[in-house]
Chain A
């Protein structure tokens, strides 16, 4: 059995439509006529008018009830999601997420849809089905909204004609048929005159279905077959400690739990038995999805914030058991102002867990209007696409179709800390389970001991012409003379071989840095002292490189040379070419260089090379 009405007292609704479809008026009328709006706000809507409003003063302009920010007031449009309460006649509550209609705010639509049970989608009867109609259906379906109420609005503008409704209803149903929806109700309405919004009226005697409010009030979660119900999931948010008490606090986001149930931590290792379900008001016999609880386990178990408590699978097998993996197929809704960078390290936030992650492949971008999947090299704001993602550590993620809370994740940009994407997990990639690094008996320490040295990666970053390669060369000669085993990974060197397929766009630079870092890591494991000489202009890319290494193994060295000096030197004639316009992505000219904010070491590229080498030798703690 699925959740019952009592377990679903709040119905989440996303309202969407194109600009000028009359969405504000429809929502305003729903709010006003269910007594969900205070009287003084109603008075405001009687006396205040936007420019262009044709509603006489003294009457309620329902669109004014959902009026929000001053910035929107000036432009007469909605730019951000607003949340409003609707008291349903049944005693339940609806929270309406009022999503903006403009194409450039598709990401806000996705936000509003992410928690919604029901979508109310407006279609202007006079203007018909438009690109936005398809876009909003696509977003709602992708984000997991299974019930759609289509309000064919402004029926007054087409003289309430049955044939006009039938034509549009047919078109909408055809458009909706592409998606896996439980229920699509198409209602002819006039938000302006109120027909079929609250009650069915006589203006359209040919319509026998429910009104918009009746449909909302009657909504029930669709019954789910037993084998489709998500098993118990609880992401641990906080460890509650008191005298002789250690409990794991979090919200049951799927399934239910009872004392005595076997649960596993992150779907791995031996299961533990739930001892108590603790709340302030006393222990519970059972906790359902949506309940905030604190669990105690019978046996002492290592559980921390970010861990996921999961129902132990029954004898029938491991279906839906989210075995930790480090590669996933997922859909992304890109919300960042900067586009997706292939190979760049982001933070993946799932529940209370945050781990570094890289988009390793962009399978396609979906045209949200036609539904077509197209080849893509990147995703821009408001794009949706299918990607593959690799995480630094194995994490348990469910399929989004099983559970929104444990199948959905965010991608966070590591410098600005902005949310740049919402991710919807499709499935773990099998190969991630199957690649288990073999532990060899001769390890890095053994190799380093044989060489009598401490392996390190010195990462030299700086402008082209800063003197990185010169310093790297002098340093390696000095180390070699001391009998140490070294290797220099030079930017130009790797680009003639390992990375010859890469160019100089930000995406390709990210991949260049990633491959060099991985190579340096192998060499470190081989026991070598590795000197990397690479422009590596972006902080995010260098941070991702550093994240591959243990603390102390990676030394970021900024070769700090003034811009006028490097342009003057121009050893490869690159600045001259860039100035002439034949090198568009030249760092320092066409692209910016982001100097390290907290480098481990700074060497002056304009100074003596020997001084720089002395400084670096010191940092290597060479004991010879």
Chain B
């Protein structure tokens, strides 16, 4: 039996994007209206770029009524940091950058502590520190349900118990568009306006709305090494090379952006959005397959979330 080929080359992609945009704006306004001190978690990637753009749209002609928080592990691509600072200046954002200084002082790196422990200390713990320091009662993030299997069950308004713990069994039922934004002592909320977007939606929206993204998403000759089939870009001289090893130059781009030693590149000739979207329709691997931190153990995203990761 031949499967019906339902090409995602949609008849009315704008209509779908319009509906997703309206839903995200609705969520933003609910957060701004209901919570005392919301904060936007900004990771500099494509989803964050879309999140920021939607925030500007949701409150126009007024200003975005909350600050923007970046958790800097110290291992982000240099181009990401440049892009972050440029964007914050252009949009006039109230940008807060936080690094787990204890972790940095103790010399925690992806090479010395293993990816899991490094991620826990420099991302999860750092995020908890920053949220506690700011006294934020709601943190907006760009997670999507199509990203990873435990994300498919994530709520739009996802409750965190004291200590930022995610307890799957304590999540509130979500009816209609109506959100229960009430919190008891010590509880906080994580909110995901892009819950129902797919990776393709994100790119189509970036194209339609002409949203700037970090150039690392587009192909360019870049210095990489091969680590077990994954191409890692050598972004600075802290990356430990093997004896006699020299980086190769390959035309690569990134589907997701994170810490450079933990983010694999894909070989690609896509130097613009049209080419990138065309490539996506052919290469049907999920985007997180390039993330080295998700793969450890069957439910590793689930266990990271339980600890307070996004």
User: Which A residues fall within an 8 A CB radius of B?
Assistant: 6-7, 9-10, 32-36, 38-41, 66-71, 73, 79-85, 87-93, 95, 107-108, 110-111, 114-115, 194, 198-199, 201, 213, 237-238, 240-242, 245, 247, 249-251, 253, 278-281, 290-292, 294, 305, 335, 347, 349-352, 354, 404-405, 408-410, 412, 415-419, 422
Q: Are B62 and A242 in contact (CB under 8 A)?
A: yes
Within 8 A of A (CB), among B232-288: 284-286
Q: Are B1 and A69 in contact (CB under 8 A)?
A: no
Given contacts A38-B285, A349-B178, contact A422 B29 (CB under 8 A): no
Q: Are B56 and A280 in contact (CB under 8 A)?
A: yes
Given contacts A35-B8, A238-B33, A417-B183, contact A291 B22 (CB under 8 A): yes
Number of B interface residues in the complex (CB < 8 A): 67
Which residue of the partner chain, among B58, B175, B184, contacts A417 with CB atoms under 8 Å? Answer: B184
Q: Is B105 an interface residue (CB 8 A)?
A: no
Q: Are A88 and B284 in contact (CB under 8 A)?
A: no
From residue A75, how far is it (CB to closest CB) to chain B in Å? 13
Q: Is B207 an interface residue (CB 8 A)?
A: no
From residue A289, how far is it (CB to closest CB) to chain B in Å? 10
Cβ-closest chain A residue relative to B5: A35
Q: Is B146 an interface residue (CB 8 A)?
A: yes
Q: Are A40 and B289 in contact (CB under 8 A)?
A: yes
15 A-B pairs whose Cβ atoms sit less than 8 Å apart in the complex: A9-B12, A68-B153, A69-B299, A80-B171, A83-B152, A83-B153, A84-B146, A87-B6, A95-B196, A213-B4, A237-B26, A241-B62, A280-B56, A352-B34, A417-B184
Query: B227 — which chain A residues lie within 8 A by C-beta?
Result: none
Given contacts A199-B1, A281-B57, A352-B30, 8 further A-B contacts (CB under 8 A): A10-B19, A10-B20, A40-B289, A249-B29, A292-B23, A292-B26, A347-B182, A405-B177
Which residue of the partner chain, among B10, B33, B174, contacts A305 with CB atoms under 8 Å? Answer: B33
Q: Are B61 and A80 in contact (CB under 8 A)?
A: no
B133-150 CB mask vs A (1 if < 8 Å, else 0) is 000000000000110011
Given contacts A34-B6, A240-B62, A415-B184, contact A83 B178 (CB under 8 A): no
Query: B198 — which chain A residues lie within 8 A by C-beta?
Result: 85
Q: Are B33 and A352 in contact (CB under 8 A)?
A: yes
Q: Is B95 an interface residue (CB 8 A)?
A: no
Given contacts A91-B10, A335-B173, A419-B180, contact A84 B59 (CB under 8 A): no
Q: Are A68 and B180 in contact (CB under 8 A)?
A: no
Which residue of the partner chain, among A7, A33, A36, A111, contacts B173 with CB atoms under 8 Å? Answer: A111
B76-93 CB mask vs A (1 if < 8 Å, else 0) is 000000000000000000
Given contacts A110-B175, A305-B33, contact A10 B11 (CB under 8 A): no
Query: A87 — which chain B residues lie within 8 A by C-beta?
Result: 6-8, 10
Within 8 A of A (CB), among B47-75: 56-63
Tell me the bound Cα distance from A251 to B58 in angstroms.
11
From residue A56, how far is it (CB to closest CB) to chain B in Å? 18
Q: Are B1 and A349 in contact (CB under 8 A)?
A: no
Q: Are B57 and A85 in contact (CB under 8 A)?
A: no
Q: Are A408 and B176 in contact (CB under 8 A)?
A: yes
Q: Is B211 an interface residue (CB 8 A)?
A: no
Q: Is B172 an interface residue (CB 8 A)?
A: yes
Cβ-closest chain B residue relative to A423: B175
Cβ-closest chain B residue relative to A336: B173
Q: Are B22 and A290 in contact (CB under 8 A)?
A: yes
Q: Is B302 an interface residue (CB 8 A)?
A: yes
Within 8 A of A (CB), among B190-220: 195-196, 198
Q: Are B7 and A422 in contact (CB under 8 A)?
A: no
From residue B235, how far is it (CB to closest CB) to chain A in Å? 25
Given contacts A6-B12, A9-B19, A70-B302, contact A115 B1 (CB under 8 A): no
Q: Is B97 an interface residue (CB 8 A)?
A: no
Given contacts A9-B12, A410-B175, contact A69 B302 (CB under 8 A): yes
Query: A280 — which chain B residues lie within 8 A by C-beta?
Result: 56-57, 60
Q: Are A198 and B4 in contact (CB under 8 A)?
A: yes
Query: B18 — which chain A residues lie within 8 A by C-beta?
Result: 9, 291
From residue B68, how far is it (CB to closest CB) to chain A in Å? 18
Query: A253 — which chain B residues lie within 8 A by C-beta?
Result: 177
Tell me the bound Cα distance from A207 to B241 in angstroms.
65
Q: Are B152 and A89 in contact (CB under 8 A)?
A: no
Q: Is B44 an interface residue (CB 8 A)?
A: no
Q: Are A290 and B173 in contact (CB under 8 A)?
A: no
Q: Are A238 and B29 in contact (CB under 8 A)?
A: yes
Which residue of the partner chain, among A33, A88, A93, A351, contacts B178 with CB atoms under 8 Å? Answer: A351
Tell me the bound Cα distance from A240 to B6 in angstroms.
42
Tell me the bound Cα distance from A238 to B66 in angstroms.
14
Q: Is B230 an interface residue (CB 8 A)?
A: no
